[in-house]
Amino acid sequence: MVENILEFQSVSKSYGSKKALHDVSFSVGAGKIVGLLGTNGSGKSTIMKIAAGLIQPNRGTADVMGNSVGLKTKADVSFMPDQPLTESWMKVRDAVHFYRDFYPDFDEEKAHNMLDFMNLNEKERITSLSKGMNERLHLTLTLSRNAKLYLLDEPIGGVDPVARDKILDAIVEFYNEDSSMLISTHLVRDIERIFDEVIFIREGEIIMQQEVEGLRIKYGKSVDDMFKEVYT
Ligand SMILES: Nc1ncnc2c1ncn2[C@@H]1O[C@H](COP(=O)(O)OP(=O)(O)OP(=O)(O)O)[C@@H](O)[C@H]1O
């Protein structure tokens, strides 16, 4: 069995002359939910896009299940980008069918159950959904694949605090424990309860990877307290 589902080793990435990641190394173990925490522009989305195989690092290696990120690993990875992938003409139902036809590992029954849980109407047009409802839909589509690794980029940025709790419950409930999850966010306090481990990133560099339990015991602090301390 491969121990690390995702592994970055000394990854650097620049956009033109702008450095986004510098010598980034971390891993996501099997069965773990890991928070990727950092302020705006710290490099979270860049990490997600590299892991999803959408962009290439300039230096270093990124592996999923022991394979270098590429065509082969895309089948193991379900990515929820911070911008929706669906088309404006679609109804919720069309989006589900689109994913079902596109991904062989898509579980349609799970999608219907999750849509119910999320209070989403399958007849609704995607263009008429609010930002928060759109996020619920994309989370549903992303989690309804039977993937090894789920990458969620800011999954709760657009939803109100009450709905956030519901969405986190959905992540925990519908998450398959044989797989792993990397979730980027700067809304640390709202989401920290679901993390096994957290990674702090600042200006393109990893400054800490720690088990949440360890953090509480070693420093006597919540992840949110630690986050505020590191970033202010
Ligand atoms: N396509 C691009 N072209 C040029 N610079 C970019 C591009 N994408 C990202 N950057 C820069 O790279 C750095 C990291 O960006 P990234 O989007 O990875 O951060 P982030 O932590 O996801 O931020 P946010 O929380 O605001 O989404 C930022 O300085 C950003 O301006």
To test the pocket of ligand 1, the residue of 11, 17, 18, 203 to mutate (highest count of ligand atoms within 8 Å of its CB) is: 18
To test the pocket of ligand 1, the residue of 12, 15, 36 to mutate (highest count of ligand atoms within 8 Å of its CB) is: 15
Domain residue limits at 89: 4-231
ipTM field: 0.95
Please give the model's pTM, rounded to 2 decimal places.
0.93
| Angstrom distance (rounded) from CA 69 to CA 7 | 10
Cα angle value 96/182/39 (rounded, 5°) = 110
pLDDT of residue 83: 66
Residue whose CA is closest, atom 24 of ligand 1? 40
Looking at residue 217, its amino acid is I
Is pLDDT of 88 > 70? Answer: yes
Looking at residue 16, its amino acid is G
| Angstrom distance (rounded) from CA 107 to CA 151 | 17
Burial class of residue 128, CB neighbours in 10 A (0-12, 13-18, 19+): exposed
pLDDT of residue 175: 83
- For 30-83, the pLDDT digits (tens) are 999 999 999 889 999 999 999 999 999 999 999 999 999 998 898 999 998 766
CATH number of the domain that 136 lies in?
3.40.50.300
Looking at residue 114, its amino acid is M
Tell me how many domains the chain contains.
Answer: 1
CB of 49 within 6 A of ligand 1: the answer is no
CB of 40 within 6 A of ligand 1: the answer is yes
